[in-house]
Structure 1
Amino acid sequence: MQTGYYAATGGMVAQFNRMDTIATNLANANTAGYKHDQLITGDFARLYKEARDTLPLNNNTTESAQFLNRSLSRVPQITDSYTDFSQGTLQKTDNTLDVALGKEGQFFAVQTPQGIRLTRDGLFTLNGDGKLVTKQGYEVLPNDYFKSKSTITINPQDEIVTIDRNGLISNNIPGSTKMVANKQLMIVEPQNLRMLKKEGDGLYIPDPAEELTPIDNSGNVMQGYTEKSNVNAVNEMVALVEANRLVGMYQKAMDAQMNDMNRDAIEKIAVTHR
């Protein structure tokens, strides 16, 4: 078996996966609140060492190790992936319904057809019914949603709408400058960010085992701002070029294994002497 060929193939597949992730990051470089993904590359040997003690070989682990293909064990593998939830740059927009969170790890809660989802994208707007919604039309939830089951409604005719640092929305009485309290945005802070799953449109599926608890005094809500993506386009482009070059190197290695070495084998080893 030409182990070098399989090692190069595994390395090429790993770089293809890496390029897909980088392409997704670059495509969302200008998406508000987007958090970039990262892959971790390892090898089969490490995975084997982590799992061999749990294999159903109680007394044969040592003996079975002699059959481990040492060349194949070094094939690069995508061993894990994670999302970088670090804070993106805050950009001032001065739009009344643009809201950003000044602390990483906190999210707005929205209602989707699939259930409650979390997002960092605070570019909100009003739909035809005066409900506060996301760009995709998902209703933004208030902190009393689990009790009231109601959403946030703002009269489009209100000239003054303010959102304080805790997410409390206030609007003026029509024809006056007197402000009255409305609803408060639901801000949540999951305990384990690694349990969040991306769903698209800047949404995250919360851990079903963790109860969502609204934060009444987050102190991190900023009206008139938006959080930009935390993708560093320069770093991603450098990584894309690196991955592309590695694919080329693996391709040459595969070609050498299948063509040059096989040709040598045919021309030299298979020579018969009369």
Structure 2
Amino acid sequence: MIRGLYTAAAGMVAQQRKHDTVTQNIANLNTNGYKQVESLVRSFPEMQLSRSGDSSLGSKVIGSLNTGVFAEESMSMNVQGDLIPSDKITDFALYSDLRVTNPNTGEAIPFDASGKYISDNGDVIYKPQAYFTVQDKEGNVKYTRDGSFQVDAEGRLLSSTGDEVLSDNGEPIRLTGAMNQFKVNEQGQLVNPLTGALTGERLGITIVDDPYQLVREGNGNYVLSSDRAGSARLLGAEDRVQVKQGFLERSTVDSAQSMVDLTAALRAYEANQKVIQFYDKSLDKAVNEIGRV
């Protein structure tokens, strides 16, 4: 009976965390470049039950027992968001359709809606994603999909959180001339608006081969640990990534599905709560009524 209490309590904790995750998604419904987060719920390892006592009764193995579930981790769904026009020249959005070729067949790998592919051998491959590269005041490099940039009095191109936007050579971008003449082509290269010639400078766009290795830092920024730095590289000429000036990427949060998930988590939480109340009444009866007899 006590085991049932622990199982129901574990279910309540898991549903509470799922509820918090969905609430976070809803709160960021209008956050530029935000990627919806999914809370992964998994079961605890199964236990093998064996009967103790008289060996003459046969096999001692009874079977396996599962002791409930837990919210193991929260994962961002790194998929392309819709692009919306903002008509602001310092706003940028990335349209990323990067492809990975199957080395055995030479064909493009068909990723699912979450950007994941599982081969026949069980190997998991994730779809690479592109990110703007920024740098904070301490010199730490970060990645973001929020292209709502601004220009300060010194001509520095800054992110919405005040971080410096880096070029492809790792240096902060500084603009000169009239701001209404600031122009970037679809390859992220800065263009001279008067002559149409390339200035030789390009927005620093980083390709992360496994975006699930990124650590969410907050304010739309991600970081890579030092041991994962090898999975990041600069945008190449063959990469299918476009920079859209005057656009912003919407969040990937599905508001309708979020409300369904929110309600489902609440109902599951209440169901586990009812189970605990049932066990509590049973224990009360066993202690205060049966124990008195």
Deviation at 1:216, TM superposition (A): 4.3
The one-letter amino acid paired with 2:12 is M
Matches within 5 A, 1:76-115: 76-103=69-96, 105-112=129-136, 113=138, 115=140
CA RMSD of aligned residues (A): 2.4
Q: 1:36 to 1:137 in 2, by over 3 A?
A: same
Percent identity over the alignment is 27
State the shift of 1:20 in Å.
1.2
Alpha-carbon deviations, 1:210-255, whole Å to 9, x = none? 2442214354111111100000011111111111121111111111
2:224 paired residue number:
206
Q: 2:195 aligns with which of 167, 178, 192?
A: 178
Question: How far is 1:171 from its partner?
Answer: 3.6
The aligned counterpart of 1:138 is: 163
2: CA distance, partners of 1:199 / 1:186: 19
Unaligned runs of 5+ in 2: 49-59, 98-128
1:194 aligns with 2:212: yes
Task: Specify the alignment match of 1:58 in structure 2.
Answer: none
Tell me the SS of whatever aligns to 1:220: strand
Q: Which residue of 1 aligns with 2:45?
A: 45
Pair 1:256-2:249 in alignment: no
Q: Is the 8 A contact 2:86 2:246 kept in 1?
A: yes
Give aligned pairs, total: 245
How far apart are 1:207 and its partner, in Å? 3.8
Counterpart contact for 1:31–1:229, Cα < 8 Å: yes
Name which of 146, 149, 155 aligns with 1:124. 149
1:13 matched to which residue of 2? 13
Question: CA deviation digits over 1:55-109, x for unaligned, max 9?
Answer: xxxxxxxxxx979993xx3311113332100111110112111111111610010
Q: Secondary structure of the residue that 1:261 maps to in structure 2?
A: helix
TM-score (norm 1): 0.82
Compared CA separation, residues 232 and 114, structure 1 to 2 (3 A)? farther
1:268 deviation in Å? 5.4
1:165 aligns with 2:186: yes
In structure 1, distance between residues paired with 2:62 and 2:146:
52
Quick one: distance in 2 between partners of 1:267 and 1:12? 27
Deviation at 1:35, TM superposition (A): 0.5
* Distance in 1 between residues matched to 2:203 and 2:175, nearest whole Å: 13
1:157 CA drift (Å)? 2.2
| Equivalent residue, structure 1, for 2:109 | none
Cα deviation, residue 264, structure 1: 2.9
Report the Cα offset of residue 163 of structure 1.
Answer: 0.7
Unpaired runs of 5+ residues, structure 1, are: 50-64
- 2:209 counterpart letter in structure 1: Q
More strand by share: 2
What displacement does 1:159 show? 3.3
Distance 1:128 1:256, change over 3 A: same
Q: Distance in 1 between matches of 2:205 and 2:160?
A: 18
Tell me how far 1:44 sits from its aligned partner. 0.9
C-alpha distance 159-30 of structure 1, shift in aligned 2 (>3 A): closer
How many Å apart are 1:139 and its aligned residue?
0.4
- Contact 1:43–1:79 under 8 Å retained in 2: no
Q: CA deviation at 1:37?
A: 1.0
Deviation at 1:144, TM superposition (A): 1.1
